[in-house]
Amino acid sequence: MGSGTTANATAKKMPVLLALCFALAVIVELANSSTFDELFQPSWAPDNSVFEGDLLKLKLDNYSGNHLQEYMSSDGPTHNEFDFEFLGNTTGEPYLVQTNIYVNGEGNREQRLNLWFDPTKEFHTYSALWTQHQVLFLLDETPIRVHTNLEHKGIPYPKDHAIGVYSSIWNADDWATQGGRVKTDWSHAPFIVSYRGFEIDACECPVPSASADNMKKCSSEAENKYWWDEPTVSKLSIHQSHQLMWVRSNHLIYDYCTDTSRFPVTPKECVRHHHDRH
């Protein structure tokens, strides 16, 4: 089963310090509407979300953040999840984006980048492409991370659960702002993040539905071939490989694969993911 999802996002009133979590995952089922108020529902603090046609704004103040979802994400002890997390910044320093991958309920696969652009100036595209071959994270179509399916090496890969899209903005100055050393400056509140141009291209999985049924329904067959299962999409192109190397050489500031204090034994997927090493 595979799908690609795209969302454009920018913070319009970015604070000196902000912790924004944008958890992007593959969709549970296709949506026919193009307006956010028909696609998504606030799960808490509805007053902190504003729908303006094709534009969505989430607000964080010193009373509450906001969380929005289209459908439930994969849940339970073996859930899968793909995250974009904006960790905020201090004035004059680059904005930080962290990605993380949960496979069968286990995360701790963080990678952190400093951005080569200011995300508050204009909209940018943040995408996740999930196929049977790999999970690919992209910023404005530039690959920033690839997680390859290595099940043939005995390494788990996310495949058994249909999952949804959700986004939240919340105060995480207990860990996100330089490890919690710097606190959010509430004099800049409210903090607002804006989204537009949300796109989904995915295999529809009815809810509820058994994993085996989803796998069968979303597998490419002769009469039902999905574009994301084509050989040209199963791995990075030469150009994409060069882009990924550039990102990792110039903007990667943390990789769980090389954090020997957390992982004295290198995680198995890090040994095998040649494109994912720094």
Residues 185-238 have pLDDT tens digits of: 888 888 888 888 777 787 777 666 666 676 777 777 756 778 888 888 888 999
CA neighbours closer than 13 Å in the CB half-sphere of residue 125:
15
Q: Which residues contact 26 (CB under 8 A, 6 or more apart)?
A: 2, 3, 5, 82, 128, 130, 162, 163, 164, 165, 202
Tell me the catalytic residues.
81, 85
Instruction: Write the single-letter amino acid at 193.
Output: V
Q: Which two tokens stand for residue 246?
A: 């550039």
Q: Which two tokens stand for residue 241?
A: 């490989």
Instruction: Write the single-letter amino acid at 217.
Output: K
pLDDT reading at 152 higher than 80: yes
The pLDDT value recorded for residue 222 is 58
51 in helix, strand or coil? strand
pLDDT reading at 240 higher than 80: yes
The 10s digit of each residue's pLDDT in 118-136 is 888 888 888 889 888 899 9
pTM of the predicted protein model: 0.81
Strands 166-169 and 191-202 turn out to be unpaired
The pLDDT value recorded for residue 200 is 77
The 10s digit of each residue's pLDDT in 77-106 is 778 888 888 887 776 788 889 999 999 888
**Contact between residue 75 and residue 208 where contact means Cβ atoms under 8 Å apart:** no
Q: Give kind and range of the element (H or E) at residue 197.
A: strand 191-202
Q: How far apart are CA 152 and CA 275, in angstroms?
A: 18
Instruction: Write the single-letter amino acid at 150.
Output: L
The pLDDT value recorded for residue 228 is 83
Per-residue pLDDT, averaged over 20-31, amounts to 35
The 10s digit of each residue's pLDDT in 54-82 is 788 887 877 655 544 446 345 567 788 88
Instruction: Write the single-letter amino acid at 165.
Output: V
pLDDT reading at 2 higher than 60: no
